[in-house]
């Protein structure tokens, strides 16, 4: 006889730990140095094959050279000239040590080369200094940059960059900002990263330095490891106080990941973003402790909808997206702050957080702009202008294809323009020229499918664009202007809020109406009456955020599940006349009144939830 579970059941995987979106690295204790010291800039190698040489001790300086095998530090051949705050590059068997400061606080420019058994003095750097960055692949391939040329007031900072070819040093293009006491990362003289202080970050491409995204935590004397596209910034000096904060660089932005057990500055960092080292440094005294950062190579990947049994917690669980747990975080600023942009509420369609488009708008209030900017998830870039600068209109689409219509130029307009990813083309006007739409939505990344509705003065007029012409369809039930909308198709969308009568309140509404491709149906009202705000998502799964409370701006975010509204975590900054897009899992809000240029990104990650019997 067949078992019931064989007929009706399904297999559930047993795991000892919950699945995760990615493996999470942690710091753990390693072997102590034999000599406690400030080791800033005196490192080479990897987590399991690292070296530190020289450094500052209590009291004075040291020539001690130690090597690590992943467990224990062993003393080996000393360097020739005691010093600290020098540059370091290379591997455990082929290293380079230029620059630094010796006991008389005198800058040194001599360079020493390590061949795996002994140190040899080679050609001097062109400019003596201390506290610069150093990276490189070996004792024949290195790059040194920045540093301080003098400490006597005022401190003379350097922006100089020098490259080593195994024989001599050559000066190359300077840093954009002269500084010292910074962290560095890189394994070749053609690619490097120099970060802090305070949070400034520059990337080297083999020819020149480019300023890139700043650290989240201002600091100096951070340790560093990795490359110019994948690096760790480790600990540092907050002045006053030390930090153990570790940030990871992915080539675009920094993310805080895991703190050191011992907050410190001037530690030796080496390795990669998945296998790194922090040795020695300074707290209130010189320390010998070593910590190892490791990201597990094997882990259970998070998979939405997965049901599993956690044997450690003795519970059945499911992986699901938690909209209520979503939060807003800062993104890249617009180049031109503005309000009332055209592709409002559905910018970039459902993938708007990484491919949003900011079109036209006003800055300052009443002055129309033609500017168009594209977002890549971290940075806004200006592209081809629209033909007619305007504000308070509507649109849909994203970077590959979009369409805008209506708005205010010198008067209400019905002008329609299509974006093909490189140029804007004027096409057929709306039937009714108007501004301050209640909402607009359409097919994601399409220039042939757009619905616009409502306008000032209060009207419910709705028109649909088919790629060639506009057709009037059924009106909103309540005529109003300046609402928000969500939707990725002209067959299904939702509009919310707006103002239905002249100010002051009660003109602002909490009305919401759903579109089924033919007609509008009133649905549940949201919690906070408002106008001039933005939305993201689709007809049955969306969020609204920001808005004009008259008086004052709102930071309130509300979630629509197709039936009811729930308040979520607020925007960091209350804003009105903002634009937005994306989904309930990954949304975006950008711009706003009075030249506001900030971007905020909404993220609602997956969680592992315990299944209960009810």
Tell me the DSSP string of 158-185.
---EEEE-SS-EEEEPPPSS---S-EEE
pLDDT the model gives residue 105: 60
Vertex 589: Cα angle to 320 and 532 (nearest 5): 120
SS3 readout for 275-333: EEEEEEEECCCEEEEEEEEECCCCCCECCCCCEEEECCCCEEEEEEECHHHCEEEECCC
Under a CB-based contact definition with an 8 Å cutoff, are residues 530 and 571 in contact? no
Structural contact between residues 581 and 536, judged by C-beta atoms closer than 8 angstroms: yes
Sign of CA dihedral 350, 352, 357, 361: positive
pLDDT of residue 349: 41
CA-derived radius of gyration, the chain: 29
DSSP, collapsed to helix, strand or coil, labels residue 349 as helix
CB 184 within 8 Å of CB 192: yes
DSSP lists the bridge partners of residue 206 as none
Domains of the chain in start order, with CATH, are: 31-294 (2.120.10.80), 325-604 (2.120.10.80)
Tell me the backbone φ, ψ of residue 388, rounded to 5 degrees: -125, 110
**pLDDT for the residue numbered 348:** 35
List, as own/partner pairs, every contact residues 56-62 make where C-beta atoms lie below 8 angstroms and the sequence separation is at least 24, other chains included. Answer: 56/84, 56/85, 56/282, 56/286, 57/286, 58/285, 58/286, 60/103, 61/102, 61/103, 62/35, 62/37
Q: Given this model, what pLDDT does residue 345 score?
A: 40
The three-state secondary structure class of 562 is coil
* Contact assessment for residue 9 and residue 275, using Cβ atoms and an 8 Å cutoff: no
pLDDT of residue 614: 56
Which of these, 509, 560, 507, lies nearest to 536 by C-alpha position? 560
Instruction: Please tell me the predicted confidence (pLDDT) of residue 436.
Output: 93
At 347 the pLDDT is 35
pLDDT tens sequence across 338-380: 999 987 543 334 457 888 899 999 998 889 999 999 998 888 9
DSSP string, 99-135: --B-TTS-B---EEEE-SS-EEEEPPPSS--BS-EEE
d(CA 317, CA 295): 24
**Rounded distance between C-alpha atoms, residue 260 and residue 323, angstroms:** 31
Q: Which portions of the chain are predicted below pLDDT 50?
A: 1, 345-350
Rounded to whole angstroms, the Cα distance separating 490 from 396 reads 10
């Amino acid at each position: 006889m067949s078992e019931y579970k064989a007929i009706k059941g399904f297999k559930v995987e047993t795991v000892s730990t919950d699945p995760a979106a990615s493996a999470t690295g942690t710091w753990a204790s390693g072997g102590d140095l034999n000599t406690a010291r400030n080791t800033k800039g005196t490192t080479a190698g990897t987590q399991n094959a690292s070296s530190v040489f020289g450094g500052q001790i209590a009291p004075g300086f040291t020539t001690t050279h130690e090597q690590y095998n992943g467990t224990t530090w062993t003393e080996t051949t000393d360097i020739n000239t005691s010093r600290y705050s020098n540059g370091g590059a290379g591997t455990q068997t082929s290293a380079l040590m230029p620059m630094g400061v010796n006991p008389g606080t005198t800058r040194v420019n001599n360079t020493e080369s390590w061949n795996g058994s002994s140190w040899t003095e080679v050609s001097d750097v062109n400019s003596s200094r201390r506290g610069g960055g150093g990276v490189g692949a070996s004792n024949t391939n290195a790059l040194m940059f920045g540093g301080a040329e003098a400490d006597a007031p005022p401190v003379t900072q350097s922006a100089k960059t020098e490259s080593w070819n195994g024989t001599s040093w050559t000066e190359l293009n300077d840093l954009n900002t002269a500084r010292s006491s910074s962290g560095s990362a890189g394994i070749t003289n053609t690619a490097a990263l120099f970060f802090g202080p305070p949070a400034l970050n520059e990337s080297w491409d083999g020819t020149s330095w480019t300023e890139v995204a700043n650290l989240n935590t201002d600091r100096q004397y951070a340790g560093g490891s990795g490359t110019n596209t994948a690096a760790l910034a480790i600990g540092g000096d907050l002045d006053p106080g030390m930090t153990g904060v570790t940030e990871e660089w992915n080539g675009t932005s920094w993310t805080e990941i895991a703190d050191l057990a011992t907050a410190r500055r001037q530690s030796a960092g080496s390795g990669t973003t998945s296998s790194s080292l922090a040795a020695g440094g300074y707290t209130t005294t010189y320390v010998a402790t070593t910590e190892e950062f490791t990201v597990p190579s094997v882990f259970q990947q998070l998979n939405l909808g997965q049901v599993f049994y956690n044997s450690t917690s003795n519970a059945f669980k499911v992986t699901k997206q938690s909209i209520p747990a979503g939060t807003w975080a800062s993104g890249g600023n617009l180049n031109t702050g503005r309000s009332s942009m055209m592709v409002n509420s559905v910018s970039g369609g459902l993938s708007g957080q990484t491919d949003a488009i900011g079109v036209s708008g006003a800055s300052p209030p009443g002055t129309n702009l033609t500017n168009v900017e594209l977002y890549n998830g971290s940075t806004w870039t200006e592209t081809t202008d629209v033909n007619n600068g305007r504000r308070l209109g509507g649109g849909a689409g994203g970077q590959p294809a979009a369409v805008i219509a209506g708005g205010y130029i010198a008067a209400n307009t019905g002008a329609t323009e299509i974006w093909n990813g490189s140029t804007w083309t004027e096409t057929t006007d709306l039937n009714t020229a108007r501004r301050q739409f209640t909402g607009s939505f359409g097919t994601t990344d399409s220039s042939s499918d757009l619905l616009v509705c409502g306008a000032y003065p209060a009207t419910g007029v709705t028109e649909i664009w088919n790629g060639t012409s506009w057709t009037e369809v059924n009106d909103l039930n309540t005529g109003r202007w300046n609402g928000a909308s969500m939707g990725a198709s002209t067959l299904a969308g939702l509009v919310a809020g707006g103002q239905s009568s002249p100010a002051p309140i009660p003109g602002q509404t909490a009305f919401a109406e759903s579109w089924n491709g033919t007609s509008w149906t009133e649905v549940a009202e949201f919690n906070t009456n408002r106008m001039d705000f933005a939305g993201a998502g689709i007809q049955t799964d969306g969020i609204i955020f920001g808005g004009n409370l008259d008086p004052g701006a709102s930071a309130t975010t509300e979630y629509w599940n197709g039936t009811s509204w729930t308040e979520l975590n607020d925007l960091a900054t209350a804003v009105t006349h903002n634009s937005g897009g994306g989904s309930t899992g990954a949304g975006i809000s950008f711009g706003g009144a009075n030249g506001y240029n900030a971007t905020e990104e909404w993220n609602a990650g997956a969680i592992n939830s315990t299944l209960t019997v009810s």
